[in-house]
């Protein structure tokens, strides 16, 4: 195991991706202690101020507290810095949950389709149908139908990813079930669920993890798109997408509302993608030689 860890760390893409991602996770967890205020708090006296302005928030007891708008304020007088930092939480959660959900459902269906030939035809035709619908349209329809909450957004982004995961896992299982060690397990009278769990799943894990990182990266983006279109999380929960959506009307005068969330979104997606690339290079021996060395 230690040798795997050192192999992972020897890959520069993984080091960079994991480093940036670790930093972002730290920011998300520590958001309340990084000089932020309540992301929904408004300072009516300081609307659309440039970065560095000092303003003050009125508290409920009538007193007020001074605050520096490091990234300026938006058209409600809210602190963009605080909103972006709190938005990190939502974006990372959506990425993580979506990847886990898509892998769990797609992985299970893929294993069933790959191992039980009778199930295969039915399941895969259904998946083909699902794949024929453009992912973002399907997500929009699902959010519109289910209402906008964290879990509905996750479901809406995960569902279009499921057919892709199912296909990947199915093809892995199709080749693994012919492996002599799986046939030997059948000859040893190992029950089918145990074969799937013990012999097939662990050997399909590496490509699954890699696929998971790519899903996470695209989920972060899709969430931003949904929010931007007004179909994401409600405006009182700040996400990078809805911060940008609110800022877009006055983008030419006050670009900070769009630029600052984008400044976080781009490296996040890049880091997760790099992590995925690196993991594929290390975990999949076929790509090992073409790695970044």
Kindly state the smallest distance separating residue 180's Cβ from another protein, in Å.
Answer: 4
Does 282 participate in binding another protein (rule CB under 8 A)? no
Q: Smaller CB distance to another protein: residue 21 or 176?
A: 176
Stretch binding another protein (CB under 8 A), from 33-41, 175-183, 241-249, 254-262: 175-183
Stretch of residues binding another protein (CB under 8 A), selected from 2-10, 139-147, 182-190, 238-246: 182-190
Q: How far is the CB of 187 from another protein (least distance, A)?
A: 5
C-beta closer to another protein: residue 198 or 248: 198
Q: Is 188 in the site for another protein (CB under 8 A)?
A: yes
From 44-52, 78-86, 119-127, 196-204, span contacting another protein (CB under 8 A): 196-204
Nearest distance, CB of residue 147 and another protein, angstroms: 42
Residue 4 Cβ vs another protein, minimum distance, rounded to whole Å: 12
Using CB under 8 A as the binding rule, whether residue 285 contacts another protein is answered as no
Q: Does 193 bind another protein (CB under 8 A)?
A: no
Quote the CA–CA distance of 250 and 68 in Å, as a whole number.
22
Q: Which is nearer to another protein, 179 or 284 (CB)?
A: 179
Question: Tokens representing 2?
Answer: 């230690």
Residue closer to another protein by CB (options 116, 151) is: 116
- Phi, psi for residue 68 in degrees, rounded to 5: -95, 125
- State yes or no: residue 184 binds another protein (CB under 8 A): yes
Number of residues that bind another protein (CB under 8 A): 17
Asked if 179 interacts with another protein (CB under 8 A), we say yes
- Sole binder of another protein in the list 117, 125, 198, 248 (CB under 8 A): 198
- 53 or 190: whose CB is closer to another protein? 190
DSSP string, the chain: -HHHHHHHHH-HHHHHHHHHHHHHHHHHHTGGGSS---TT---TT-SSPPTTEEEEEEPTTS-EEEEEETT-B-TT--BHHHHHHHHHHHHHHHHHHHHHHHHHHHHHHHHHHHH-HHHHHHHHHHHHHHHTS-HHHHHHHHHHHH-SSHHHHHHHHHHHHHHHHHHHHHHHHHHHTTSHHHHHHHHTT--HHHIIIIIIHHHHHHHHHHHHHHHHHHHHHHHHHHHHTT-SS-TTS--HHHHHHHHGGGTTT-THHHHHHHHHHHHHHHHHHHHHHHHHHHH-HHHHTTS--
Closest CA to 223 of 38, 98, 56, 130: 98
Under the binding rule (CB under 8 A), the answer on residue 191 touching another protein is: yes
- Contact call for residue 180 and another protein (CB under 8 A): yes
Binding site for another protein (CB under 8 A): 179-181, 183-192, 198-199, 202-203
């Amino acid at each position: 195991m230690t040798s795997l860890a050192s192999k992972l760390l020897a890959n520069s893409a993984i080091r960079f991706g994991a480093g940036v991602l670790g930093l972002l996770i730290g920011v998300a967890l520590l958001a309340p202690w990084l000089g932020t205020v309540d992301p929904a708090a408004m300072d009516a006296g300081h609307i659309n101020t440039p970065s560095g302005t000092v303003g003050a928030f009125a508290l409920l007891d009538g007193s007020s507290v001074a605050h520096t708008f490091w990234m300026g304020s938006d058209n409600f007088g809210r602190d963009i810095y605080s909103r972006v930092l709190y938005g990190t939480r939502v974006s990372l959660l959506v990425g993580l949950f979506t990847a886990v959900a898509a892998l769990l459902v797609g992985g299970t269906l893929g294993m069933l389709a790959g191992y039980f030939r009778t199930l295969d035809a039915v399941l895969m035709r259904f998946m083909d149908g699902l794949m024929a619908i453009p992912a973002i349209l399907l997500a929009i329809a699902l959010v519109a139908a289910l209402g906008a909450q964290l879990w509905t957004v996750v479901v809406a982004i995960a569902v279009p990813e499921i057919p892709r995961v199912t296909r990947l896992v199915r093809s892995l299982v199709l080749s693994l079930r012919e492996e002599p060690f799986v046939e030997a397990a059948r000859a040893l009278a190992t029950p089918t669920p145990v074969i799937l769990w013990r012999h097939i799943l662990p050997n399909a894990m590496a490509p699954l993890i890699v696929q998971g990182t790519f899903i996470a990266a695209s989920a972060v983006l899709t969430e931003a798109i949904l929010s931007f279109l007004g179909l994401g999380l409600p405006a009182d929960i700040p996400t990078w997408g809805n911060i940008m959506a609110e800022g877009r009307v006055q983008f030419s005068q006050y670009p900070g509302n769009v630029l600052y969330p984008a400044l976080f979104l781009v490296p996040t997606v890049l880091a997760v993608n790099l992590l995925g690339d690196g993991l594929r290079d290390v975990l999949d021996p076929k790509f090992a030689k073409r790695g970044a060395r």
